[in-house]
Amino acid sequence: MDKNMLAGLEGLPEEDKARMSSMIDHLQLRDSLRMYNSLVERCFNDCVDNFTRKALQKQEETCVMRCAEKFLKHSMRVGLRFAELNSQAATQD
């Protein structure tokens, strides 16, 4: 998620812009932390099933790395499409 997704700030007075901007920063921080947590949970659930050992096995490590990279790439792509649809919707209104 970045500020492009929330387009429409241009027309606002300066103090509102500043307030919205800091709100966006706050939301981005919260969102990053949430993403971190859900990514860990997802990749753990999808990749780790074996509890005969304490240490992660090599294939589990590989799986987790791929899972995380894949989700982040996916998330970026979704972000692009989301921004496109957002701006289409904005021009239609």
Partner 1 sequence: MAETEMEYRVELFNRLAQTCFNKCVDKRYKESELNMGENSCIDRCVSKYWQVNSMIGQMLSAGGRPPM
Binding site for partner 1 (CB under 8 A): 1, 5-6, 20, 23-24, 27, 31, 34-35, 38, 46-47, 63, 65-67, 69-71, 73-75, 77-79, 81-82, 85, 89
- Shortest CB 55 distance to partner 1, Å: 20
Closest separation between CB of residue 81 and partner 1, Å? 4
Close Cβ partners of 12 (under 8 Å, ≥ 6 residues apart): 20
Residue 80 identity:
L
Nearer CB in complex with partner 1: 55/89: 89
Rank residues 42 and 51 by Cβ distance to partner 1 and give the closer one.
42
The b-or-e profile of 9-23 (16+ CB within 10 A means b, else e) is: eeeeeeeeeeeeeee
- The secondary structure of residue 10, as a DSSP letter, is T
Report, in Å, the least distance between residue 62 CB and partner 1: 8
Task: For residues 29 and 22, give the distance between their C-alpha atoms in angstroms, rounded to a whole number.
Answer: 11
Q: CA-based Rg of the chain, rounded to a whole angstrom?
A: 19
Closer CB to partner 1, residue 18 or residue 85? 85
